[in-house]
């Protein structure tokens, strides 16, 4: 069984493979009356678009989004919004080796085990290309939560972390790594370029925060805001770990060290919300937002597409060796930044509507 829909009230369903004619998403449950046009979606796709620097894959895709339904006179109608992105740069390539054997670390073997069959061209459905659909859907989600500001950035590449003291939000858009620390960005140029030149790859950590989320979104159990965020982030290709707030570091704290004390606001905030003296919790307590920034960290593995030959087996079980030909990201985490933002927006839009739906 495949299940390509995410969300409860604000839902999206994606479709498409990297080498088919197009990919897309159907956004269902979007409230009516929101101003929207393709120009409000395109910038997010442009941020995710490959081929913009030597640090990402050289596949060239314009990634032009078209809105096929759900919009009338520049506003959402409340009916499904169909978004389509045509595939353009499906470079003719010889995939016979991928057809015959399983690339280690990729989903090839697992797909065949599940379906007995796979579209082996460019990873098919499991290609990172699918994330363009999420980014398009996420742009719609942002319209539902105008009170929220979402920002993601890379905090670590190949084990080299940013210096929190250098954090400058304005720098994020100023380098090809979505890096808020210019010094780190400088160092990463060499790390990523070395990986690229060696046909190797490196992992990365992406951090994301959402400011302006009011207290009260989420639910105590199962419909938890943090559980839904975890699923959203772990569902991104190449992600292997998710943290909310302090994450694994919280496991090393004492109760005192992990406390998020509150006091009355010095100046009365929105709804008289309290002032928090810390945010170890990442803005979520008991599955419900507290009004603090919602924060998460996401670990991207190094892509398995490398030039070093590795042991593997053919479809009929024989030993062989494989390496990855073709254009690939030396650090997939970089282009994960707009995807992480999109998933954050999609989860928050859903929970905003779910919170409204509860009121009797």
Binding site as annotated, residues for FMN: 125-127, 237-238, 286, 301-305, 327
Nearest distance from C-beta of residue 170 to its own copies, angstroms: 25
Q: Contacting its own copies (CB under 8 A), which of 49, 196, 224, 335? A: 224
Q: Using an 8 Å Cβ cutoff, are 246 and 255 in contact? A: no
Comparing CA positions, the residue from 225, 43, 241 lying closest to residue 135 is 43
Residue from 201, 209, 213, 348 binding its own copies (CB under 8 A):
201
Separation CA 104–CA 351 (nearest Å): 37
Angstrom distance (rounded) from CA 273 to CA 264: 8
Q: Among 140, 150, 162, 204, which residue sits at the site for its own copies (rule: CB under 8 A)?
A: 204
Dihedral (CA of 27, 30, 36, 41) sign:
negative
Number of neighbours of residue 264 by Cβ within 10 angstroms: 10
> Which residue among 50, 105, 122, 138 contacts its own copies (CB under 8 A)?
105
For position 195 contacting its own copies by CB under 8 A, the verdict is: yes
Chain positions 304 to 333 lying near its own copies, rule: CB under 8 A, are 304-306, 308, 310-313, 317-319, 333
Whole-angstrom Cα distance, residue 59 to residue 327? 6
* Least distance CB 244 / its own copies (angstroms): 5
The SS3 call for residue 49 is: coil
Spatial neighbors of 270 by CB under 8 A, at least 6 apart, are 214
Stretch 10-39 residues interacting with its own copies (CB under 8 A): 11, 13-17, 20-24, 26, 28-34
- Write out the two tokens for 328: 């690939």
Write phi, then psi, for 59 (nearest 5 degrees): -55, 135
Nearest-approach distance from CB 329 to its own copies, in angstroms: 11
90 or 304, CB closer to its own copies? 304
User: Which region among 45-53, 54-62, 76-84, 88-96 touches its own copies (by CB under 8 A)?
Assistant: 76-84
CB of 226 to its own copies, least distance (A): 5
Does 1 participate in binding its own copies (rule CB under 8 A)?
Answer: yes
CB of 174 to its own copies, least distance (A): 23
Rule CB under 8 A: is residue 81 a binding residue for its own copies?
A: yes
Is residue 335 close enough to count as binding its own copies by CB under 8 A?
Answer: no
CA–CA separation, 4 and 133 (whole Å): 11
Residue 180 or residue 330: which is nearer to its own copies going by CB?
A: 330
Distance CA 74, CA 115 (A): 42
* 281 lies in the site for its own copies, by CB under 8 A: yes
Find the shortest distance in angstroms from Cβ 138 to its own copies.
Answer: 14
Report the residue from 50, 282, 293, 338 that binds its own copies according to the rule CB under 8 A: 282
Residue selected from 212, 247, 325, 327 as contacting its own copies according to rule CB under 8 A = 247
Closest CB to its own copies among residues 1, 170 = 1
- The three-state secondary structure class of 257 is coil
Euclidean distance between CA atoms 341 and 139, whole angstroms: 9
Identify residues 148-167 at the interface with its own copies (CB under 8 A): 156, 158-159
Q: For residue 24, give the DSSP letter.
A: E
- Residue 216 binds to its own copies (criterion: CB under 8 A): yes
Binding of its own copies by 250 (CB under 8 A): yes
Binding status of residue 299 toward its own copies by CB under 8 A:
yes
Q: Which long-range contacts (CB under 8 A, 24 or more apart) does 265-271 make?
A: 270/214, 271/214, 271/215
CA pair distance 359, 144, nearest whole angstrom:
18
């Amino acid at each position: 069984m495949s299940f390509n829909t995410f969300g409860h009230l604000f839902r999206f369903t994606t479709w498409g493979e990297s080498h088919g004619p197009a990919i897309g998403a159907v956004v269902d449950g979007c409230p009516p009356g929101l101003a929207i046009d393709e120009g409000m979606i395109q910038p997010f796709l442009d941020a995710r678009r490959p081929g913009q620097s030597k640090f990402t894959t050289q596949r060239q895709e314009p990634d032009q989004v078209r809105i096929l339904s759900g919009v009338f006179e520049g506003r959402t109608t409340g009916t499904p919004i169909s978004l389509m992105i045509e595939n353009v740069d499906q470079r003719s390539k010889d995939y016979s080796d991928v057809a015959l054997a399983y690339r280690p670390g990729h989903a090839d073997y697992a797909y065949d085990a599940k379906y007995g069959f796979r579209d082996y061209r460019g990873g098919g459905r499991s290609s990172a290309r699918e994330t363009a659909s999420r980014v398009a859907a996420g742009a719609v989600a942002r319209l539902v939560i105008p009170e929220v500001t979402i920002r993601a950035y890379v905090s670590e590449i190949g084990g080299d972390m940013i210096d929190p003291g250098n954090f400058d939000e304005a720098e994020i858009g100023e380098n090809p790594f979505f890096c808020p620390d210019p010094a780190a960005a400088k160092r990463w140029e060499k790390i990523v370029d070395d990986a690229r030149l060696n046909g190797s790859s490196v992992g990365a950590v992406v951090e994301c925060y959402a400011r302006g989320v009011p207290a009260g979104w989420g639910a105590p159990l199962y419909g938890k805001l943090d559980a839904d965020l975890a699923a959203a982030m772990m569902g991104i290709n190449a992600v292997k770990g998710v943290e909310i707030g302090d994450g694994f570091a919280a496991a090393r704290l004492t109760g005192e060290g992990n406390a998020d004390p509150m006091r009355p606001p010095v100046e009365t905030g929105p709804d008289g919300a309290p002032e928090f003296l810390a945010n170890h919790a990442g803005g979520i307590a008991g599955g419900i937002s507290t009004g603090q920034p919602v924060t998460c960290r996401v670990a991207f593995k190094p892509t398995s597409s490398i030039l070093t030959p590795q042991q593997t087996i053919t479809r009929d079980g024989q030993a062989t060796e494989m390496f990855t030909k073709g254009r690939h990201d030396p650090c997939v985490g970089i282009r994960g930044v707009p995807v992480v933002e999109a998933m954050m927006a999609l989860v928050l839009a859903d929970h905003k509507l779910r919170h409204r739906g509860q009121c009797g």
